[in-house]
Amino acid sequence: MIFGRSQRGKPPVEPVTLKILVAGGFGVGKTTLVGAVSEIRPLRTEELLTEAGRPVDDLSGVEQKHTTTVAMDFGRITLREDLVLYLFGTPGQERFWFMWDELSEGALGAVVLADTRRLEDCFAAVDYFERRGIPFLVGVNCFEGSARYPAETVRQALDLDPDVPVVMCDARDRESVKEVLVGVVQHAMAQAADRRRAVTT
């Protein structure tokens, strides 16, 4: 038997992999957010909006968006040789919800990206993560030209539990997105600590 490459010393590093989901309404900037921090161009399946899609995809207030993501898209962040974080954008339209259960299984947490012009678009995502106990935070994507509202107003409008963080962010900005992701992980840690406390007391 020939042992060509494998003789070159140590076996390949098998990384621990984690995933964070990025949810939110159609055209809110999920793919942009993934692209802002991913080391690979977001891998995705996108199709141009067609006649068939038009009744479903309400574009009012989202004039710049021409395509819609119809499958998952994802990015990768290698934090260490042995620790890799994947970001999965969840399909934005409700007819692709069947993919959510699979995506959310084992997820560390989630970002619900919100656009204050169409806040109702993220109700479904908030409901979904609340019901499954998946730690999530709401990132308000501050589009140019959209009115800014205080985080408290967004919290009330979405009827969020008091412990769910609401942060302002810019999905195009790498530093901003990094902070959002750190916020998700911190929230996941806090939620895990709460649960442990609930079990032991």
Partner 1 sequence: MSADGQGRNHWFDDEAGPVVRPYAMTRGRTTSAAQHRLDLIAVVVTEPHADDPEADVSLSPEHVDIVGLCRQAPQSVAELAAELDLPVGVVRVLVGDLVDEDLVHVNRPVPPAELPDENILRDVISGLRAL
User: From the CB of 15, what's the least distance to partner 1, in Å?
Assistant: 6
Nearer to partner 1, 19 or 118 (CB): 19
Residue 18 binding partner 1, by CB under 8 A: yes
Nearest distance from residue 52's CB to partner 1, in Å?
Answer: 15
Q: How far is CA 181 from CA 34, 112, 120, in A?
A: 10, 11, 23
When computed from its CA atoms, the radius of gyration of the chain, rounded to whole angstroms, is 19
Other C-beta atoms lying within 10 Å of the C-beta of residue 37: 19
What are the residues facing 113 on neighbouring strands?
Answer: 24, 139
Site track 33-72 with partner 1 (rule: CB under 8 A), x = hit: ----x-----x----------------------------x
Is residue 13 within the footprint of partner 1 (CB under 8 A)? yes
Touching partner 1, residues 75-114 (CB under 8 A) = 76-77, 79-80, 83-86, 88, 102-103, 105-106, 108
Closest separation between CB of residue 189 and partner 1, Å? 5
Query: Amino acid letter at 75?
Result: G
Q: Which is nearer to partner 1, 12 or 145 (CB)?
A: 12
Q: How far apart are CA 71 and CA 44, in angstroms?
A: 7
Q: Does 2 bind partner 1 (CB under 8 A)?
A: yes
Strands (E), the chain: 16-24, 46-48, 67-69, 73-80, 83-89, 109-114, 136-141, 166-169
> Measured between alpha carbons, how far apart are the two ends of the chain, in Å?
59
Which residue shows structure tokens 């967004």? 154
Residues contributing to the site for partner 1 (CB under 8 A): 1-6, 11-19, 37, 43, 72, 74, 76-77, 79-80, 83-86, 88, 102-103, 105-106, 108, 174, 178, 181-182, 185-186, 188-189, 192
